[in-house]
Each structure stands twice: as C-alpha cells, then as structure tokens.
A and B are shown apart, each in its own frame.
Chain A
C-alpha cells in the first residue's frame, strides 16, 4: 500500500488563526480524501480532493472553512480557517488504491485554545 505522511503531526493553535495540513503520498493516486475525527469519535468525511478541480465537500463542510488544494497526484493540503476550540480534532488524509481500498495517513492532532 501507499506510504502516506502528514505534516504537522500535531499543533496547538490560537482561536481565530488558520492552520494548513499537508498530505504527501509516495505514489500517484487519483482519489484523496480528508476526514475529521473529533475526540473519542468516529471518522467523518470532510471532502474529496480532486486533482485539477475543486474539492467536493460533504454536507456540513464548506470551502471557506476548509479550503483544500490538490496540485498534483501525490500531494494535498487542508486548511482549517478561523479556528475555534470546536475545531480541535484529528485530521486525517486517505487515498484510494486499487480495489477501492482506502489507506490513511497518521493524522494531525490539532488543539485550538
């Protein structure tokens, strides 16, 4: 399976600021996804990051709050904008490989004060 890395691995941020999370894959993949995992909870899909076009957002998530870039087939970024303590979560990227299986990165643990 693809090797997926995320930066930063964790961060503590002040409310009102923004943080950009990077996701790097060691091979070219078509489908990349961004998930949020709130403390003690399951995973919720934020958006699908499409190369060469705008991301597709799930209900409850908007581009102004979570802008996403996908400049090529190995890289994507997710920005959490104008943060509040409610944005404290683990943010995970995943990639879809052959046979429709999704593999996840290690996650970025965000705490907003």
Chain B
C-alpha cells in the first residue's frame, strides 16, 4: 500500500485561525520528513523539515510535529492568511534509500477572508 497518505484532502479555515494538516506514514524506517507548499501553477516550495530523532520543530508561523509511535506527522500553521491557500504535501525518506522522497496525496488548504 501507499507509504505516505493524508487523512483530509481538503481543509477550509477562516483567516486568522490556526490550521492543522495531518499526514500518516506506514514505514517506521523513514528517517526524514518534509512539508511542501504548492500554489497553483508553481512548483512545490519547501516549508519545514524534521528528522526522526526529533518530535517537534518550529519555523516562522509553522510547526511540524512527529509522532513516531503512531507514525503521524502534522503541520500547524498559526494565524492562517489567504496567502497560505495552497496544496500541502508531506514527503518521507526511507533511511538508506539514497535520497528518494515518497510524497503523500496532498491537502488543499483554503483560507476564507
């Protein structure tokens, strides 16, 4: 089956609210995870990454949480803005896979003004 997947294909939030995008992965041997944002007509843009020896990492307005016990990854966006509207992908790298990334299906985030 697919190694990486997203529970919610779409997410609609109000401007100013916090957003949480979830991702499940099935391979416990994955050691590196990345979140990407893809706006319409553009290539994926790196947001934040986390390694398997961490459970939390913060960036500017974004936080990634990794729960290795249940193989779950989440991206939290604080004070969501209309410019955050995009498709968000999680990607995992299997340890020793020579840098190959496996991408999840993606979640469409829509921010309502």
Chain A: interface size category: 20 to 34
Q: Which of B42, B91, B93 contacts A106 (CB 8 A)?
A: B42
Residues of A within 8 A of B99 (CB): 31, 33, 48, 96, 100, 102
Residues of A within 8 A of B34 (CB): 101-102
Measured CB to CB, the nearest residue on chain A to B2 is A42
Known: A43-B103, A48-B98. A100 touches B93 (CB 8 A): yes
Residues of B within 8 A of A48 (CB): 98-100
CB distance from A2 to the nearest CB of B (A): 11
Query: Can you report 22 A-B residue pairs in the complex whose CB atoms are below 8 A from each other?
Result: A41-B105, A42-B103, A42-B105, A43-B89, A43-B103, A44-B103, A58-B100, A92-B43, A96-B99, A99-B49, A100-B32, A100-B93, A100-B99, A101-B34, A102-B99, A104-B43, A104-B44, A104-B45, A104-B46, A105-B43, A106-B43, A109-B41
Binding site for B on A (CB under 8 A): 1, 4, 31, 33, 41-45, 48, 58, 92, 96, 99-107, 109
